[in-house]
Structure 1
Protein backbone atom coordinates (compact mmCIF):
# COMPACT_ATOMS: atom_id res chain seq x y z
CA UNK A 1 0.00 0.00 0.00
CA UNK A 2 1.03 3.61 -0.52
CA UNK A 3 -0.41 7.07 0.13
CA UNK A 4 -1.47 9.32 -2.76
CA UNK A 5 -3.17 12.72 -2.98
CA UNK A 6 -6.16 13.60 -5.15
CA UNK A 7 -5.93 16.75 -7.23
CA UNK A 8 -9.41 17.50 -5.82
CA UNK A 9 -7.57 18.53 -2.65
CA UNK A 10 -6.58 21.64 -4.63
CA UNK A 11 -9.58 21.84 -6.94
CA UNK A 12 -9.67 25.66 -6.91
CA UNK A 13 -6.06 25.97 -8.10
CA UNK A 14 -4.79 25.59 -11.68
CA UNK A 15 -3.68 22.01 -12.32
CA UNK A 16 0.04 22.79 -12.52
CA UNK A 17 -0.05 24.61 -9.17
CA UNK A 18 -2.14 21.80 -7.64
CA UNK A 19 0.53 19.28 -8.61
CA UNK A 20 3.29 21.48 -7.19
CA UNK A 21 1.43 21.81 -3.90
CA UNK A 22 1.01 18.02 -3.77
CA UNK A 23 4.77 17.63 -4.27
CA UNK A 24 5.51 20.26 -1.60
CA UNK A 25 3.42 18.24 0.85
CA UNK A 26 5.81 15.32 0.18
CA UNK A 27 3.55 13.06 -1.81
CA UNK A 28 5.14 11.23 -4.72
CA UNK A 29 1.89 9.85 -6.17
CA UNK A 30 -1.40 11.52 -7.07
CA UNK A 31 -4.88 10.79 -8.34
CA UNK A 32 -5.81 12.94 -11.32
CA UNK A 33 -9.43 14.11 -11.20
CA UNK A 34 -11.00 14.71 -14.62
CA UNK A 35 -14.38 16.23 -13.83
CA UNK A 36 -16.64 18.04 -16.28
CA UNK A 37 -17.50 20.90 -13.91
CA UNK A 38 -13.97 21.07 -12.43
CA UNK A 39 -11.17 23.63 -12.80
CA UNK A 40 -8.49 21.18 -13.98
CA UNK A 41 -8.73 18.83 -16.93
CA UNK A 42 -12.26 18.22 -18.19
CA UNK A 43 -13.49 15.17 -20.09
CA UNK A 44 -14.36 17.30 -23.12
CA UNK A 45 -10.77 18.62 -23.29
CA UNK A 46 -9.15 15.21 -22.94
CA UNK A 47 -11.52 13.72 -25.50
CA UNK A 48 -10.97 16.52 -28.02
CA UNK A 49 -7.22 17.15 -27.58
CA UNK A 50 -5.49 14.12 -26.12
CA UNK A 51 -1.92 15.41 -26.62
CA UNK A 52 -2.60 18.83 -25.07
CA UNK A 53 -4.04 17.14 -21.99
CA UNK A 54 -0.96 14.91 -21.68
CA UNK A 55 1.34 17.92 -21.91
CA UNK A 56 -0.64 19.74 -19.24
CA UNK A 57 -0.09 16.89 -16.78
CA UNK A 58 3.56 16.39 -17.71
CA UNK A 59 4.40 20.08 -17.22
CA UNK A 60 4.09 19.61 -13.48
CA UNK A 61 6.60 18.09 -11.04
CA UNK A 62 7.80 14.50 -11.43
CA UNK A 63 4.94 12.84 -9.57
CA UNK A 64 3.53 9.43 -10.47
CA UNK A 65 -0.19 9.26 -11.29
CA UNK A 66 -1.72 6.34 -9.37
CA UNK A 67 -5.29 6.58 -10.64
CA UNK A 68 -7.71 8.71 -12.62
CA UNK A 69 -11.01 9.88 -11.12
CA UNK A 70 -13.26 10.36 -14.14
CA UNK A 71 -16.68 12.02 -13.99
CA UNK A 72 -18.39 12.94 -17.27
CA UNK A 73 -21.42 14.34 -15.47
CA UNK A 74 -24.92 13.58 -16.82
CA UNK A 75 -24.43 12.26 -20.35
CA UNK A 76 -26.16 9.82 -22.69
CA UNK A 77 -23.94 6.76 -22.71
CA UNK A 78 -25.68 5.50 -25.86
CA UNK A 79 -24.28 8.50 -27.74
CA UNK A 80 -21.36 7.32 -29.88
CA UNK A 81 -19.52 10.63 -29.34
CA UNK A 82 -19.60 10.01 -25.57
CA UNK A 83 -18.34 6.47 -26.06
CA UNK A 84 -15.48 7.70 -28.25
CA UNK A 85 -14.62 10.20 -25.53
CA UNK A 86 -14.49 7.39 -22.97
CA UNK A 87 -12.23 5.40 -25.30
CA UNK A 88 -9.91 8.42 -25.50
CA UNK A 89 -9.73 8.60 -21.71
CA UNK A 90 -8.70 4.96 -21.52
CA UNK A 91 -5.88 5.62 -23.99
CA UNK A 92 -4.97 8.75 -22.01
CA UNK A 93 -4.72 6.70 -18.80
CA UNK A 94 -2.57 4.12 -20.55
CA UNK A 95 -0.25 6.83 -21.88
CA UNK A 96 0.19 8.15 -18.32
CA UNK A 97 0.93 4.66 -17.00
CA UNK A 98 -2.16 4.70 -14.77
CA UNK A 99 -3.68 1.38 -13.70
CA UNK A 100 -6.89 2.36 -11.89
CA UNK A 101 -9.83 4.24 -13.38
CA UNK A 102 -12.40 5.45 -10.82
CA UNK A 103 -15.91 6.41 -12.00
CA UNK A 104 -19.35 7.06 -10.52
CA UNK A 105 -22.04 4.46 -11.00
CA UNK A 106 -25.53 5.35 -12.19
CA UNK A 107 -27.84 7.37 -9.89
CA UNK A 108 -30.08 5.65 -7.37
CA UNK A 109 -33.22 4.34 -9.00
CA UNK A 110 -31.52 3.23 -12.22
CA UNK A 111 -32.59 -0.33 -13.15
CA UNK A 112 -29.81 -2.76 -12.24
CA UNK A 113 -29.96 -4.57 -15.59
CA UNK A 114 -29.50 -1.26 -17.41
CA UNK A 115 -26.43 -0.40 -15.34
CA UNK A 116 -24.91 -3.86 -15.81
CA UNK A 117 -25.28 -3.47 -19.58
CA UNK A 118 -23.65 -0.01 -19.54
CA UNK A 119 -20.80 -1.11 -17.28
CA UNK A 120 -20.09 -4.31 -19.22
CA UNK A 121 -19.28 -2.28 -22.32
CA UNK A 122 -17.20 0.32 -20.44
CA UNK A 123 -15.25 -2.32 -18.51
CA UNK A 124 -14.44 -4.22 -21.72
CA UNK A 125 -13.04 -1.01 -23.22
CA UNK A 126 -11.01 -0.15 -20.12
CA UNK A 127 -9.58 -3.63 -19.73
CA UNK A 128 -8.39 -3.66 -23.34
CA UNK A 129 -6.08 -0.80 -22.35
CA UNK A 130 -4.89 -2.65 -19.24
CA UNK A 131 -6.95 -0.59 -16.79
CA UNK A 132 -8.73 -1.62 -13.59
CA UNK A 133 -12.15 0.13 -13.75
CA UNK A 134 -13.83 0.90 -10.42
CA UNK A 135 -17.00 2.52 -9.06
CA UNK A 136 -17.02 4.97 -6.14
CA UNK A 137 -19.21 3.90 -3.20
CA UNK A 138 -21.07 7.23 -3.33
CA UNK A 139 -24.39 7.12 -1.46
CA UNK A 140 -26.16 9.00 -4.26
CA UNK A 141 -25.44 6.17 -6.70
CA UNK A 142 -26.17 2.46 -7.01
CA UNK A 143 -22.70 1.58 -5.72
CA UNK A 144 -23.48 3.45 -2.48
CA UNK A 145 -25.50 0.39 -1.45
CA UNK A 146 -22.83 -2.18 -0.51
CA UNK A 147 -25.02 -5.12 -1.52
CA UNK A 148 -25.68 -3.65 -4.96
CA UNK A 149 -22.01 -2.66 -5.34
CA UNK A 150 -21.00 -6.29 -4.83
CA UNK A 151 -23.74 -7.47 -7.21
CA UNK A 152 -22.38 -5.17 -9.91
CA UNK A 153 -18.84 -6.49 -9.42
CA UNK A 154 -20.05 -10.08 -9.62
CA UNK A 155 -22.12 -9.38 -12.73
CA UNK A 156 -19.36 -7.50 -14.59
CA UNK A 157 -16.05 -9.40 -14.55
CA UNK A 158 -13.07 -7.08 -14.04
CA UNK A 159 -15.07 -4.36 -12.29
CA UNK A 160 -13.80 -3.18 -8.88
CA UNK A 161 -14.72 -0.55 -6.31
CA UNK A 162 -13.25 2.67 -4.96
CA UNK A 163 -14.11 2.63 -1.27
CA UNK A 164 -15.09 6.00 0.20
CA UNK A 165 -15.93 5.26 3.86
CA UNK A 166 -17.28 8.78 4.44
CA UNK A 167 -20.50 7.63 2.78
CA UNK A 168 -20.76 4.85 5.34
CA UNK A 169 -21.10 7.52 8.02
CA UNK A 170 -23.20 10.04 6.11
CA UNK A 171 -25.32 7.71 3.96
CA UNK A 172 -28.21 5.41 4.81
CA UNK A 173 -26.05 2.29 5.12
CA UNK A 174 -24.09 1.63 8.30
CA UNK A 175 -20.31 1.64 8.06
CA UNK A 176 -20.07 -2.03 9.06
CA UNK A 177 -22.22 -3.00 6.04
CA UNK A 178 -19.34 -1.91 3.82
CA UNK A 179 -17.28 -4.88 5.05
CA UNK A 180 -18.95 -6.67 2.12
CA UNK A 181 -17.07 -4.60 -0.44
CA UNK A 182 -13.46 -5.12 0.73
CA UNK A 183 -12.74 -8.12 -1.54
CA UNK A 184 -13.54 -5.88 -4.53
CA UNK A 185 -11.70 -2.69 -3.49
CA UNK A 186 -9.07 -1.37 -5.93
CA UNK A 187 -8.81 2.25 -4.71
CA UNK A 188 -9.66 4.16 -1.52
CA UNK A 189 -10.68 7.81 -0.96
CA UNK A 190 -10.10 9.13 2.56
CA UNK A 191 -10.84 12.20 4.68
CA UNK A 192 -12.25 12.49 8.20
CA UNK A 193 -16.03 12.56 8.59
CA UNK A 194 -18.58 12.86 11.37
CA UNK A 195 -22.04 11.33 11.47
CA UNK A 196 -24.01 14.58 11.73
CA UNK A 197 -25.35 16.71 8.85
CA UNK A 198 -22.64 19.04 7.54
CA UNK A 199 -19.80 16.84 8.83
CA UNK A 200 -18.81 15.14 5.57
CA UNK A 201 -15.40 16.81 5.95
CA UNK A 202 -14.00 17.69 9.37
CA UNK A 203 -10.53 18.17 10.82
CA UNK A 204 -8.47 14.98 10.96
CA UNK A 205 -9.02 13.42 14.38
CA UNK A 206 -12.39 15.09 14.98
CA UNK A 207 -14.38 12.60 12.88
CA UNK A 208 -15.24 8.93 13.17
CA UNK A 209 -13.33 7.32 10.30
CA UNK A 210 -11.48 4.26 11.64
CA UNK A 211 -8.35 4.37 9.49
CA UNK A 212 -6.58 1.50 11.27
CA UNK A 213 -9.60 -0.78 10.84
CA UNK A 214 -9.86 0.12 7.16
CA UNK A 215 -6.19 -0.68 6.57
CA UNK A 216 -6.50 -3.97 8.48
CA UNK A 217 -9.50 -5.00 6.38
CA UNK A 218 -7.68 -4.09 3.17
CA UNK A 219 -4.61 -6.08 4.23
CA UNK A 220 -6.81 -9.09 4.89
CA UNK A 221 -7.65 -9.18 1.19
CA UNK A 222 -4.14 -8.48 -0.06
CA UNK A 223 -4.79 -4.88 -1.10
CA UNK A 224 -1.60 -3.22 -2.39
CA UNK A 225 -2.82 -0.05 -4.07
CA UNK A 226 -3.40 3.57 -3.00
CA UNK A 227 -4.83 5.15 0.11
CA UNK A 228 -5.86 8.40 -1.59
CA UNK A 229 -6.18 11.56 0.49
CA UNK A 230 -9.36 13.11 -0.92
CA UNK A 231 -10.13 16.18 1.20
CA UNK A 232 -12.19 18.12 -1.33
CA UNK A 233 -11.15 21.77 -1.74
CA UNK A 234 -14.21 23.86 -0.87
CA UNK A 235 -14.33 27.55 0.08
CA UNK A 236 -16.44 26.80 3.16
CA UNK A 237 -14.12 24.17 4.65
CA UNK A 238 -13.71 24.98 8.38
CA UNK A 239 -9.98 24.17 8.34
CA UNK A 240 -6.69 24.96 6.60
CA UNK A 241 -6.41 22.54 3.70
CA UNK A 242 -2.61 22.05 3.66
CA UNK A 243 -2.54 21.35 7.40
CA UNK A 244 -5.25 18.67 7.18
CA UNK A 245 -3.81 17.06 4.05
CA UNK A 246 -0.39 16.78 5.69
CA UNK A 247 -1.90 15.40 8.91
CA UNK A 248 -3.79 12.70 7.06
CA UNK A 249 -0.74 11.74 4.99
CA UNK A 250 1.37 11.32 8.11
CA UNK A 251 -1.36 9.35 9.88
CA UNK A 252 -1.84 6.95 6.97
CA UNK A 253 1.88 6.42 6.56
CA UNK A 254 2.09 5.15 10.15
CA UNK A 255 -0.48 2.44 9.32
CA UNK A 256 1.16 0.87 6.27
Structure 2
Protein backbone atom coordinates (compact mmCIF):
# COMPACT_ATOMS: atom_id res chain seq x y z
CA UNK A 1 0.00 0.00 0.00
CA UNK A 2 1.07 3.59 -0.54
CA UNK A 3 -0.33 7.08 0.00
CA UNK A 4 -1.79 9.31 -2.70
CA UNK A 5 -4.15 12.28 -2.90
CA UNK A 6 -6.94 13.44 -5.18
CA UNK A 7 -6.62 16.45 -7.44
CA UNK A 8 -10.15 17.29 -6.26
CA UNK A 9 -8.64 18.38 -2.96
CA UNK A 10 -8.04 21.59 -4.95
CA UNK A 11 -11.13 21.95 -7.18
CA UNK A 12 -10.60 25.68 -7.69
CA UNK A 13 -7.12 25.25 -9.11
CA UNK A 14 -6.18 24.18 -12.61
CA UNK A 15 -5.09 20.58 -13.11
CA UNK A 16 -1.45 21.68 -13.17
CA UNK A 17 -2.03 23.87 -10.14
CA UNK A 18 -3.45 20.93 -8.18
CA UNK A 19 -0.47 18.77 -9.11
CA UNK A 20 1.94 21.50 -8.01
CA UNK A 21 0.22 21.85 -4.64
CA UNK A 22 0.28 18.10 -4.03
CA UNK A 23 3.94 18.01 -4.97
CA UNK A 24 4.63 20.86 -2.55
CA UNK A 25 2.95 18.78 0.16
CA UNK A 26 5.34 15.91 -0.66
CA UNK A 27 2.81 13.54 -2.15
CA UNK A 28 4.33 11.16 -4.68
CA UNK A 29 1.15 9.67 -6.16
CA UNK A 30 -2.09 11.20 -7.41
CA UNK A 31 -5.68 10.19 -8.09
CA UNK A 32 -6.95 12.28 -10.99
CA UNK A 33 -10.51 13.60 -10.69
CA UNK A 34 -12.24 13.74 -14.07
CA UNK A 35 -15.55 15.48 -13.43
CA UNK A 36 -17.62 17.00 -16.20
CA UNK A 37 -18.97 19.61 -13.77
CA UNK A 38 -15.45 20.75 -12.78
CA UNK A 39 -12.88 22.58 -14.88
CA UNK A 40 -9.74 20.51 -14.30
CA UNK A 41 -10.10 17.43 -16.52
CA UNK A 42 -13.45 16.74 -18.18
CA UNK A 43 -14.49 13.37 -19.68
CA UNK A 44 -15.77 15.21 -22.77
CA UNK A 45 -12.27 16.65 -23.24
CA UNK A 46 -10.75 13.16 -23.06
CA UNK A 47 -13.10 11.91 -25.77
CA UNK A 48 -12.32 14.85 -28.04
CA UNK A 49 -8.58 14.99 -27.33
CA UNK A 50 -7.42 11.51 -26.32
CA UNK A 51 -3.81 11.89 -27.46
CA UNK A 52 -3.46 15.19 -25.61
CA UNK A 53 -5.04 13.67 -22.51
CA UNK A 54 -2.52 10.82 -22.64
CA UNK A 55 0.36 13.29 -22.88
CA UNK A 56 -1.04 15.27 -19.95
CA UNK A 57 -1.33 12.19 -17.74
CA UNK A 58 2.20 11.18 -18.62
CA UNK A 59 3.54 14.56 -17.53
CA UNK A 60 2.38 14.85 -13.94
CA UNK A 61 5.46 16.46 -12.37
CA UNK A 62 6.86 13.15 -11.07
CA UNK A 63 3.59 12.17 -9.41
CA UNK A 64 2.54 8.60 -10.17
CA UNK A 65 -1.04 8.39 -11.46
CA UNK A 66 -2.76 5.63 -9.49
CA UNK A 67 -6.49 5.95 -10.30
CA UNK A 68 -9.12 7.98 -12.13
CA UNK A 69 -12.16 9.29 -10.26
CA UNK A 70 -14.77 10.03 -12.93
CA UNK A 71 -18.15 11.72 -13.22
CA UNK A 72 -19.83 11.72 -16.64
CA UNK A 73 -22.95 13.85 -17.06
CA UNK A 74 -23.74 12.80 -20.63
CA UNK A 75 -26.57 10.31 -21.05
CA UNK A 76 -27.40 7.54 -23.49
CA UNK A 77 -24.74 6.40 -25.94
CA UNK A 78 -22.72 9.57 -25.34
CA UNK A 79 -22.15 8.36 -21.77
CA UNK A 80 -20.65 5.08 -22.96
CA UNK A 81 -18.54 6.81 -25.62
CA UNK A 82 -16.96 9.06 -22.99
CA UNK A 83 -16.49 6.11 -20.65
CA UNK A 84 -14.69 4.14 -23.36
CA UNK A 85 -12.38 7.11 -23.95
CA UNK A 86 -11.58 7.20 -20.23
CA UNK A 87 -10.81 3.48 -20.29
CA UNK A 88 -8.51 3.92 -23.28
CA UNK A 89 -6.74 6.72 -21.45
CA UNK A 90 -6.38 4.54 -18.36
CA UNK A 91 -4.92 1.70 -20.43
CA UNK A 92 -2.47 4.03 -22.14
CA UNK A 93 -1.10 5.41 -18.86
CA UNK A 94 -1.30 2.08 -16.98
CA UNK A 95 -4.04 3.09 -14.55
CA UNK A 96 -5.83 0.03 -13.22
CA UNK A 97 -8.90 1.43 -11.46
CA UNK A 98 -11.56 3.77 -12.77
CA UNK A 99 -14.01 5.04 -10.15
CA UNK A 100 -17.61 5.87 -11.08
CA UNK A 101 -20.64 7.05 -9.10
CA UNK A 102 -23.51 4.66 -8.54
CA UNK A 103 -27.05 5.71 -9.39
CA UNK A 104 -29.06 7.94 -7.08
CA UNK A 105 -31.11 6.34 -4.33
CA UNK A 106 -34.46 5.25 -5.78
CA UNK A 107 -33.07 4.06 -9.12
CA UNK A 108 -34.51 0.63 -10.03
CA UNK A 109 -32.00 -2.06 -9.09
CA UNK A 110 -32.19 -3.98 -12.37
CA UNK A 111 -31.67 -0.79 -14.35
CA UNK A 112 -28.48 -0.06 -12.42
CA UNK A 113 -27.22 -3.63 -12.80
CA UNK A 114 -27.67 -3.47 -16.58
CA UNK A 115 -25.84 -0.13 -16.74
CA UNK A 116 -22.96 -1.35 -14.58
CA UNK A 117 -22.60 -4.57 -16.55
CA UNK A 118 -22.22 -2.56 -19.74
CA UNK A 119 -19.57 -0.34 -18.16
CA UNK A 120 -17.64 -3.32 -16.77
CA UNK A 121 -17.76 -5.06 -20.16
CA UNK A 122 -16.32 -1.95 -21.85
CA UNK A 123 -13.61 -1.55 -19.21
CA UNK A 124 -12.61 -5.23 -19.20
CA UNK A 125 -11.78 -5.11 -22.89
CA UNK A 126 -9.31 -2.30 -22.07
CA UNK A 127 -7.83 -4.09 -19.05
CA UNK A 128 -9.38 -1.63 -16.59
CA UNK A 129 -11.33 -2.30 -13.37
CA UNK A 130 -14.50 -0.39 -12.47
CA UNK A 131 -15.18 0.63 -8.88
CA UNK A 132 -18.32 2.21 -7.43
CA UNK A 133 -17.62 5.29 -5.34
CA UNK A 134 -18.98 5.24 -1.78
CA UNK A 135 -21.35 8.22 -1.68
CA UNK A 136 -24.21 9.48 0.47
CA UNK A 137 -27.44 9.87 -1.49
CA UNK A 138 -26.54 7.13 -3.94
CA UNK A 139 -27.03 3.38 -3.95
CA UNK A 140 -23.49 2.88 -2.66
CA UNK A 141 -24.37 4.55 0.66
CA UNK A 142 -25.89 1.22 1.74
CA UNK A 143 -23.36 -1.53 2.41
CA UNK A 144 -25.81 -4.34 1.66
CA UNK A 145 -26.61 -2.79 -1.72
CA UNK A 146 -22.90 -2.53 -2.50
CA UNK A 147 -22.40 -6.22 -1.82
CA UNK A 148 -25.42 -7.22 -3.93
CA UNK A 149 -24.31 -5.02 -6.84
CA UNK A 150 -20.75 -6.34 -6.75
CA UNK A 151 -22.00 -9.92 -6.51
CA UNK A 152 -24.37 -9.42 -9.45
CA UNK A 153 -21.94 -7.57 -11.72
CA UNK A 154 -18.89 -9.78 -12.19
CA UNK A 155 -15.69 -7.74 -11.97
CA UNK A 156 -17.26 -4.71 -10.26
CA UNK A 157 -15.56 -3.36 -7.15
CA UNK A 158 -15.71 -0.45 -4.70
CA UNK A 159 -13.73 2.71 -4.08
CA UNK A 160 -14.10 2.62 -0.32
CA UNK A 161 -14.72 5.88 1.51
CA UNK A 162 -15.20 4.91 5.18
CA UNK A 163 -16.61 8.37 5.94
CA UNK A 164 -19.83 7.46 4.13
CA UNK A 165 -20.45 4.58 6.54
CA UNK A 166 -19.53 6.54 9.66
CA UNK A 167 -21.52 9.70 8.95
CA UNK A 168 -24.33 8.26 6.82
CA UNK A 169 -27.15 5.82 7.44
CA UNK A 170 -24.80 2.95 8.27
CA UNK A 171 -23.54 4.57 11.50
CA UNK A 172 -22.09 2.02 13.88
CA UNK A 173 -21.98 -0.90 11.43
CA UNK A 174 -18.71 -2.70 10.74
CA UNK A 175 -17.39 -2.34 7.19
CA UNK A 176 -15.45 -5.63 7.14
CA UNK A 177 -17.80 -7.10 4.51
CA UNK A 178 -16.72 -4.41 2.01
CA UNK A 179 -13.00 -5.17 2.12
CA UNK A 180 -13.03 -7.98 -0.43
CA UNK A 181 -14.67 -5.66 -2.98
CA UNK A 182 -12.27 -2.76 -2.45
CA UNK A 183 -10.28 -1.67 -5.51
CA UNK A 184 -9.37 1.82 -4.26
CA UNK A 185 -9.88 4.11 -1.26
CA UNK A 186 -10.62 7.77 -0.48
CA UNK A 187 -9.86 9.01 3.02
CA UNK A 188 -10.46 11.91 5.40
CA UNK A 189 -11.40 12.00 9.09
CA UNK A 190 -15.09 11.81 10.00
CA UNK A 191 -17.45 11.40 12.92
CA UNK A 192 -21.20 10.86 13.14
CA UNK A 193 -21.80 14.61 13.34
CA UNK A 194 -19.49 15.77 10.56
CA UNK A 195 -18.62 14.22 7.22
CA UNK A 196 -15.21 15.90 7.37
CA UNK A 197 -13.52 16.91 10.60
CA UNK A 198 -9.95 17.75 11.47
CA UNK A 199 -7.53 14.85 11.30
CA UNK A 200 -7.43 13.20 14.71
CA UNK A 201 -10.85 14.45 15.80
CA UNK A 202 -12.85 11.81 13.96
CA UNK A 203 -13.68 8.14 14.23
CA UNK A 204 -11.76 6.70 11.29
CA UNK A 205 -9.45 4.01 12.68
CA UNK A 206 -6.72 4.13 10.05
CA UNK A 207 -4.59 1.41 11.62
CA UNK A 208 -7.54 -0.97 11.77
CA UNK A 209 -8.54 -0.09 8.21
CA UNK A 210 -5.05 -0.87 6.92
CA UNK A 211 -5.06 -4.20 8.76
CA UNK A 212 -8.45 -5.07 7.26
CA UNK A 213 -7.20 -4.24 3.78
CA UNK A 214 -4.01 -6.24 4.32
CA UNK A 215 -6.10 -9.32 5.12
CA UNK A 216 -7.61 -9.22 1.62
CA UNK A 217 -4.16 -8.52 0.10
CA UNK A 218 -5.04 -4.97 -0.96
CA UNK A 219 -1.88 -3.34 -2.32
CA UNK A 220 -3.14 -0.14 -3.94
CA UNK A 221 -3.46 3.49 -2.87
CA UNK A 222 -4.69 5.03 0.34
CA UNK A 223 -5.92 8.23 -1.32
CA UNK A 224 -6.35 11.36 0.77
CA UNK A 225 -9.46 13.36 -0.16
CA UNK A 226 -9.78 16.42 2.07
CA UNK A 227 -11.84 19.41 0.97
CA UNK A 228 -11.05 22.97 1.99
CA UNK A 229 -12.99 24.11 5.06
CA UNK A 230 -13.27 27.68 6.31
CA UNK A 231 -11.08 28.31 9.34
CA UNK A 232 -9.04 25.13 8.90
CA UNK A 233 -5.46 24.93 7.61
CA UNK A 234 -6.15 22.90 4.47
CA UNK A 235 -2.52 22.27 3.58
CA UNK A 236 -1.80 21.32 7.19
CA UNK A 237 -4.60 18.76 7.18
CA UNK A 238 -3.39 17.22 3.91
CA UNK A 239 0.13 17.02 5.27
CA UNK A 240 -1.01 15.61 8.62
CA UNK A 241 -3.02 12.77 7.09
CA UNK A 242 -0.20 11.89 4.69
CA UNK A 243 2.26 11.63 7.53
CA UNK A 244 -0.18 9.61 9.65
CA UNK A 245 -0.87 7.08 6.90
CA UNK A 246 2.80 6.77 6.01
CA UNK A 247 3.63 6.10 9.65
CA UNK A 248 1.18 3.17 9.68
CA UNK A 249 2.53 1.50 6.55
Specify the TM-score bucket, using the shorter chain as the normaliser: over 0.9
SS across alignment from 1:227: strand
Question: For residue 183 of structure 2, what is the aligned residue in structure 1?
Answer: 186
Q: Which residue matches 1:201?
A: 196
Q: Could you tell me how far 1:175 is from its partner in structure 2?
A: 4.5
The one of 112, 117, 122 equivalent to 1:115 is 112
Question: What whole-Å deviation, never above 9, does each CA across 1:65-111 have from its counterpart, x for those lacking one?
Answer: 000000113x42xx222211111110011112101111111111111
Provide the residue aligned with 1:29 in structure 2: 29
Q: What does residue range 227-238 of structure 1 map to in structure 2 within 5 Å?
A: 227-232=222-227, 234=228, 236-238=229-231
- Please show how residues 1-256 of structure 1 align to structure 2 within 5 Å: 1-73=1-73, 75-76=74-75, 79-196=76-193, 199-232=194-227, 234=228, 236-256=229-249
Q: Any unmatched runs of 5+ in structure 1?
A: none
Aligned partners of 1:9 and 1:241 also within 8 Å: no
Structure 2 residue runs of 5 or longer lacking an equivalent are none
- The separation in 1 between residues aligned to 2:81 and 2:18, in whole angstroms, is 28
Aligned residues: 249
Distance 2:9 2:31 in 1: 10
CA shift in 2, pair 1:204/1:119, >3 Å: same
Q: CA deviation at 1:148?
A: 0.7
RMSD value, Cα? 1.4
132 and 176 in structure 1: CA distance in 2 versus 1, 3 angstrom threshold: same
**Structure 1 residues 237 and 57, CA, compared in 2 at 3 Å: closer, same or farther?**
farther
TM-score, scaled relative to structure 2: 0.95
Q: Where has structure 1 moved over 3 Å in runs of 4 or more?
A: 55-60
1-side partners of 2:62 and 2:172: how far apart? 37
